[in-house]
Each structure stands twice: as structure tokens, then as C-alpha cells.
Amino acid sequence: MTDPTTLLSAIDDQRHVEPDDIDPERTVSELASAFAAHGITLPSLGLDGPSMLQPFVPPLIELGRVTEETARKIIQALATRDLR
């Protein structure tokens, strides 16, 4: 059986997110603004409720399901971004 301390340490190593860097609400807002700049709205964009209750991992951001039209807009926005 795996020692729980070892397991938690492995999870922390994989995530490697500093607690001060975690602001999921700001990230959701920035994502919404970035998508909006390309004429894209994700109606389900938000925080994943169950992950907010997990004490050992950062909250997940729910991008949700989209129509094919929205998916194509995302593809176009990603394909035409400025690669500096």
C-alpha cells in the first residue's frame, strides 16, 4: 500500500503551483476576456464546483461544451495567434 504522504507529495510535484499564484476567479475572467477578444463566448465557462472542495489540488476551470461554430472560432483564434 502506498504511503499517503508519498502520494500527496507526488501530487504536489505534478501540480507545482504556488499558493500565491492561484486565483481561479481571475483566471476565468481573463479567459472570458481573451475569448471575447476573438468574438467567442463560452456559456459554461466557470469554476468546477467539486474541485473547489478538494484541499490538495488547485480548482479546475470548466470550459464546458460548445457548438461546432464556437469550436471552429477557437481553432481559428489559436491558429492565427501571433507566434513571437
Chain length of the chain: 84
User: For the chain, what is the radius of gyration of the CA atoms?
Assistant: 17
Number of separate domains in the chain: 1
Specify whether the CB–CB gap between 59 and 81 falls below 8 A. no
In a domain, 3, yes or no: no
- Provide the residue range defining the domain that includes 37: 20-79
Residue 15 lies in a domain: no
Burial class of residue 34, CB neighbours in 10 A (0-12, 13-18, 19+): exposed
- What per-residue confidence (pLDDT) applies to 57? 82
Residue 65 domain flag: yes
- pLDDT, one tens digit per residue, over 19-74 is 567 789 999 999 999 999 999 999 999 999 998 888 888 889 999 999 999 999 99
